[in-house]
Amino acid sequence: MKKELLKGLTEEQIAKAKACRSQDELLKAAKEEGVTLTDEQLAAVSGGFCSSSDFRWKCTKCGSSDTEVVERYNQGKEDEYVRVHCKKCGYYFYGL
């Protein structure tokens, strides 16, 4: 894991993040800690991809990773979330 992705996180926060089994769990833990993670940080600490351009949300309806972020809300703020479109089933969902 790249050290620059962990910048600003405490050792305790890093340990909590590594214990999460999904992006949803990680987002919940980050919100509880008052931490906003970038897509790149989220992917890296959850064992995902190395770059935000490679990161894909998992569809909450069909489970496909063939998704795209179509809108971002409150970007850079604590309550940031995204609207995601699944290219496989056409479903739209929100990620925190």
pLDDT, tens digit, for every residue of 30-72?
778 877 766 666 655 544 433 344 467 888 899 888 988 888 8
Eight-class DSSP state of 12 = H
Residue whose entry in the numeric block shows the structure tokens 């971002």: 72
Q: Is the pTM of this model over 0.85?
A: no
SS3 of 20-87: CCCHHHHHHHHHHHCCCCCHHHHHHHCCCCCCCCCCCCCCCCCCCCCEEEEEEECCCCCCCEEEEEEC
- What are the φ and ψ backbone dihedral angles of 4, each rounded to 5 degrees? -65, -25
